[in-house]
């Protein structure tokens, strides 16, 4: 009879620990708006410029992904990568 009670006891403790972790995270981690409001003006400007640069990098990442897909379809060895030369010329 001690087997099922150990199982129930471990289930209750596990649920309690996980629930406590979720509650702690919910009440201690700030939302994005709270985080931005607490930043200095200089950091706010830096965050905005990083967001703008991130959208520009998305185009380059999409081109890199296309090149990787083309190389994956080929029957060449994995170390024989082609197509990045075009990418370097486009970025210049």
Does residue 35 belong to any structural domain of this protein? no
Same domain membership, residue 47 and residue 21: no
Same domain membership, residue 25 and residue 50: no
Structural domain count of the chain: 2
Neighbours of 63 (CB within 10 A): 16
pLDDT at 16: 97
pLDDT band at 13 (very low <50, low <70, confident <90, very high): very high
pLDDT band at 88 (very low <50, low <70, confident <90, very high): low
Does residue 24 belong to any structural domain of this protein? yes
pTM over cut 0.85: no
pLDDT digits (tens, 9 = 90+) for 25-69: 999 999 988 988 999 999 999 888 888 877 778 878 888 888 888
3-state secondary structure 20-66: HHHHHHHHHCCCHHHHHHCCCHHHHHHHHHHHHHHHHHHHHHHHHHH
């Amino acid at each position: 009879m001690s087997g099922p009670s150990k199982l129930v006891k471990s289930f209750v403790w596990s649920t309690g620990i996980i629930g406590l972790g979720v509650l702690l995270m919910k009440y201690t981690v700030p939302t994005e708006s709270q985080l931005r409001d607490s930043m200095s003006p200089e950091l706010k400007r830096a965050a905005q410029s990083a967001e703008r640069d991130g959208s520009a990098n998305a185009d380059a990442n999409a081109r890199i992904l296309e090149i990787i897909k083309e190389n994956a379809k080929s029957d060449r060895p994995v170390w024989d990568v082609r197509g990045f030369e075009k990418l370097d010329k486009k970025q210049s």
